[in-house]
Amino acid sequence: MRVLVSVDMEGIAGVVDGEDVSPGHAEYERNRSLITAEANAAVRGVYACDPDAQVLVTEAHGGFRNLLPEQLDRRAELLRGKPKPDGMMAGLADGADAALFIGYHGKAGTPRSVLAHTIHGGVVADVRCEGRSLGEIGLNAALAAHSGVPVVLVSGDDTVAAEAALVAPGIHTVVVKRAIGFYAAALLHPDEACDRIEQEVPKALADREAIQPLRFDGPVLLEVEVLRPNMTERALLIPGIERTDGCTLRYAAPDFPTAYQVTQLIIMLGGI
């Protein structure tokens, strides 16, 4: 069995503030150990299910340089740094039997959700595919599904669990904190969070054929709504992009992977 583990940071137990996930702050340095510990819990869960498994851990937060490589389970391979093909889902091209999302957060605009945003909180108000609003959970699950890879587990706060259930019915969830607000949560002890992740991963992998992640076949109408009109201007240089109102860009993608790539490009240009 080959398993891809995509590891974000905002959904890690203990994290509630921007400083917790931003390099240059003391809390971030402490939380690097916590994110690595939760990744390790997922890796251990995979090997408990299949001792002969191959596990690829791919960084999915910020500059993709957050985990502490020397603390990562030595059986796993780490994809680190950017840019990476497929971004948060780098490693899909190598093939996988399942994917796990560790430390994920809610999409932009989700009430009460800890540090909720979609890809870039300073740029994006919403991303829609075929009219359906999607956050990172939905976008990444759909990209994996396009490659035939089911996302079988996600960890994060309780709003993450609710969002994931809508985009991947049957998905297993591990709630490591209960959201109180954007900057507040009731937290599990980090060790307890790791124990729950490790215990749930084998169950999720065993159920992988029953999980039905969102999938887009054929052309995809992409809409990216940004926060301010000026953030659309550079993106209009992309052939085929049109602006439908002051803050919304639309693109007719031939398939979902192209829509995923164009979303990343729009956000990069909007953030300049």
**Catalytic residue among 25, 61, 105, 117, which?**
117
Q: Give the count of beta carbons closer than 10 Å to the beta carbon of residue 209.
A: 11
Predicted pLDDT of residue 94: 84
pLDDT averages per 10-residue partition of the chain, 272 residues = 98 97 95 98 98 98 97 98 94 93 98 98 97 98 96 98 97 98 98 98 96 94 98 96 97 98 96 92
Predicted pLDDT of residue 93: 85
Predicted pLDDT of residue 117: 98
Whether 25 is a known active-site residue: answer no
Dmax over Cα atoms in the chain, in whole Å? 53
Give me Rg for the CA atoms of the chain. Answer: 18
Kindly report whether the peptide bond that precedes residue 257 is cis, defined as omega within 30 degrees of 0. Answer: no
Task: Show the tokens assigned to 111.
Answer: 């009430």
- What are the tens digits of pLDDT across the range 80-112? 999 999 999 999 988 899 999 999 999 999 999
**Distance between CA atoms of residues 164 and 101, nearest Å:** 10
Predicted pLDDT of residue 109: 96
Predicted pLDDT of residue 216: 97
**Distance between CA atoms of residues 109 and 124, nearest Å:** 10
User: What's the burial of 130, exposed, middle or buried (CB within 10 Å: 0-12/13-18/19+)?
Assistant: middle
